[in-house]
Each structure stands twice: as structure tokens, then as C-alpha cells.
Amino acid sequence: MRILLFGIAKDIAGAPVITAEGITSVAALRSWLYAKYPSLEQLRSLMIAVNKVYANDEDVLQPGDEVAVIPPVSGG
Amino acid sequence: MNKLIKIDSNVTVQQALDFVEGPDCGGVVVFSGNVRNVTKEKKVTRLFFECYEPMALLEMEKIADYTIEKMGVKRIAILHIVGEKQPGEVVVVIAVAAPHRAAAFDACEHAIDTLKETVPIWKKEYFEDGEVWVAAHP
């Protein structure tokens, strides 16, 4: 599964796209991200978007989903 | 068409105004968000904006739809830049037209407040001695 990263999350991971295998829920993805990149846990918030919509931790991930890591937004 | 949603390297107040104005609307409110040259007493030299464009456009559409369906707005333009900007330059423009001014003021404030909370756009501030992603840490 490809995972898109933006802003400070991209800087922390050191790449705009990373891949993960065998992750089937947003909660599992969150745990995987925190284990791999502990600095993500220091952020004010961390949202996950699935197919361009904000997701909840209990949401299921399918192999073809477009998954994105959304650190605190700061537009405007 | 009653909404103009756009992310581009440059946006202007005029293009937003031109889209929303019309004889059916007596109240037009425009918000322009510009680069400020200081943050917490530190001089800001430039800003850089990055976005998750397809999702940002969808979230901007949701904001526009809400103001039209629930707040009495006839037409709305929400424009945001990406890339680098200098102090004084325009970053975001929201223009709202409604039959009367109260709805236009309310909807314009709602739109910019919601944009800052939900639209996946990120701003990096550059200072003379470093840089920081805005609001990333508590």
C-alpha cells in the first residue's frame, strides 16, 4: 500500500511516499507509523485520509485505497 | 455555476469578486489573507505553501456547498495559492455574495475559519535564522 505524506510528516519520513504491507485498518496504520517514525507522535494532531476523505481509526483499509498522512493543517 | 474553487500559484481579489458579483446580490464580502512580515516578534522573510491538491479541492467544495445550502449564499469563490510568497502577497481569497450583507459576512467568516481547520494545506514560515511548519507542534 502506498502512503502519501505532506508537510512536516513528509520531512519526518524523509520521503513524499512510503509503502506498507499487511495493514488493514486506520488504527493499525497509525500504530505502524508511530513505531517507524516516533517523531510523528509529537505533533499536535495526525489525521489519516482514505480516498481523499478524513478517516476514523476504526475504518478498514483496502489494498487499492489512496492513503494520506495529514499533519496539522495551516492554510490561509 | 455558483462556486469557484481554485488552487494556483497566484490568485487575486479581482477574480474572486468578478465571479461572485451580480444584480441578485446586495451584499458582497471579500476576505484576503496576506503574508504577514512578523510572527511572535520574529521577522518573516517568506512563506511556502504545500497542499494535497485533490483532497484540498474537495474540502474547499464542501465549505462552499455548506454556505450555499445552509447560510443563504448565492455565489462563493474560494481561492488559495501554493508555492512561495513574500510578505504582503495574497495567499487566500474568499468572496461571498448574498442578497443581504449579514449572510455574506457570516458565510465569509465561516469559510475562512473552516478552511484553516479542515483543508489539507501546509504553511512553512522562513525566518532569518531558520524555518518552521506552522502549528505542527503543541
- Look at B133 and A74 and tell me if their CB atoms are within 8 Å: yes
- pTM listed for this prediction: 0.96
Choose among A52, A53, A72: nearest Cβ to B136: A72
| A72 found inside a domain | no
Record: contact A52-B112, CB cut-off 8 A: no
Is A72 close to B135, i.e. CB distance below 8 A? yes
Q: Which residues of A touch B122 (CB under 8 A)?
A: 6-8, 71, 73-75
Q: Are B126 and B35 in contact (CB under 8 A)?
A: no
* Structural domain includes residue A43: yes
- The shortest CB-CB distance from A76 to any of B33, B120, B136 is to B33
- Say whether residue A44 is in contact with chain B using an 8 A CB cutoff: yes
Q: Which residue of A has its CA nearest to B93?
A: A76
Which pLDDT value is given to residue B105?
Answer: 98
Domain ranges of chain B: 3-129
pLDDT for res B30: 98
pLDDT tens, residue by residue, B2-60: 999 999 999 999 999 999 999 999 999 999 999 999 999 999 999 999 999 999 999 99
Task: Report the side by side order of strands in the sheet with A53-54.
Answer: A17-19, A2-5, A67-70, A47-50, A53-54
User: Is A33 contained in some domain?
Assistant: yes
Domain over B3-129 is classified CATH 3.30.70.141: no
Q: Is residue A73 part of a domain?
A: no
pLDDT digits (tens, 9 = 90+) for B44-63: 999 999 999 999 999 999 99
**For the segment A3-56, what is each residue's pLDDT rounded down to a tens digit?**
999 999 999 999 999 999 999 999 999 999 999 999 999 999 999 999 999 999
Contacts of A23 (CB under 8 A, 6+ apart): A1, A29, A32, A61
Tell me the three state secondary structure of residue B4.
strand
Q: Identify whether A1 is part of a domain.
A: no
**Domain annotation covers residue A69:** no
Q: How many domains does chain A have?
A: 1
What pLDDT does B91 receive? 98
ipTM over 0.90: yes
pLDDT per position as a tens digit, B64-109: 999 999 999 999 999 999 999 999 999 999 999 999 999 999 999 9
CB neighbours of B12 closer than 8 A, spacing ≥ 6?
Answer: B79, B90, B93
Give me the domain span that covers residue A33: 8-63
Distance of residue A4 Cα from the nearest chain B Cα, in angstroms: 9
Q: What is the pLDDT of residue B3?
A: 98
